[in-house]
Structure formats: C-alpha cells, structure tokens
Amino acid sequence: MITPLPHAPDDDLSLQRIAPMTGRAWRVGAGDVVRVADLEGSQVADVFLVDAGDLEDGLSNGRTFDYGGTLSLTVGARLYSSRSRLLATIVRDDVGAHDFLYAPCSQAMFESQYGVSEPHPNCYDNLTGALAEFGVPAATVTIPFNVFMCTSVGPDGRLTILPPRSRPGDVLELRAERDLLVAVSACSASVANGGGARPLGVGVRPSA
C-alpha cells in the first residue's frame, strides 16, 4: 500500500511510501525531478527509466558508462538509454555510493542463490509489473540503477556487496531530460540491504 508521507523538511515536496519489497511506476515529464528517499536507512532502491515515447528503449548501464567514462555515478552524471538517448541527470546525491552493475533480484536468483522454493517478492517482477501498466514490454527492463546499493570491484575483478551507506532521510534526485516512465522497487534482497527490507519514499517535483 502506498500512502502520502509528510513533506520533506527542506522543501514542500511530498513523498509516497513504497512498502518493503514492492514497487511502483510513474509517468514523469521532461524537467521534472524525481526524488528517491531512504526513509529508515540501508535500503536499496532499484530504479529503471524508460523513454515514454519509445517503450522498448530503456535505461542502459553500458551506454551510461561509455559516455560518462566512469562506474561511479553522482551529481552531474547522465543516464542514457540503450538507443543512446539522454534520459536523466543526477542533481542531488546525499550518499555518493550506488551500483549500476547488478541485475534486479528475481525469482530465479532467489531459487539459484538462496534455495528458495516458494514465490518470493523480487525487483524484476516489481519493475516489470509496474511498467506493464504503461504498456512497457518486460524485455525492456534490463539493469536498473541500484540507488544506495554499495558494491566494490576488487583488483581481480571480483564483486563484493557491502551494506548501504545511506542513513534515514538520505536522498538521490534525478532530473528527467525527456518524458519518462520511472519505476522504483524497494529491493527484496537482504544481502544488498544490510540484512533487512525497509520502505522507500518517492516524490516528483514538476518543472517550473
């Protein structure tokens, strides 16, 4: 269930609560700013963007790394689509540590890595399900921008997942550079969230 939250202390932007292990999608206009807030701390937000004018053109980590020349994305970084369209720019980042390498957790991942045999809430289903309401094919959803997720790459290339550095109330904001569909999932994988599952807050500030 998504319910309105009080206004953030530094402005009049109201947030909507995304319950643990659930997700939602919004249509966002060019120039609007999307705020993702970690309400309780140590909660990853899987964020996926789709060009509202081309529902098969979604966020691309490869294009973003290529054009930005870095794996570390913070204020000023631009996020691109698979067809090289500029989708969004990071305009606020309270944490400075995020991941853009890992695929969204999925039912198959929980089964193969954790031995889960029953249906388990997961980010892939949350993202594809939310975007399907806008007509987005599931195949469009690939690698999300994993906001607040903390990972490291060792000298040998080995990936390590560390607890998020985000504290209660920390925020990341994206400015839409074109009309977008934006999906956000409160990640279900406890290993990425420091051992728990917590809610997120999401708000949209319309362009002036």
DSSP per-residue codes, 25-81: EEEE-TT-EEEEEESSSS--EEEEEEETT-TT-BB-HHHHHHHH--S---TT-EEEB
Q: Where are the alpha helices (DSSP H) in the chain?
A: 61-68, 107-114, 123-132
Instruction: Provide the pLDDT for residue 12.
Output: 63
List the chain domain ranges.
28-205
Q: Which of 173, 17, 30 is nearest to 91 (CA)?
A: 173
Distance (Å, rounded) from C-alpha 26 to C-alpha 176? 12
Q: What average pLDDT is seen over the chain?
A: 94
In three-state secondary structure terms, 178 is coil
The pLDDT tens digits for 118-160 are 999 999 999 999 999 999 999 999 999 999 999 999 999 999 9
Tell me the pLDDT band of 5, cut-offs 50, 70 and 90.
very low
Whether the per-residue pLDDT at 67 is higher than 80: the answer is yes
- pTM value is 0.94
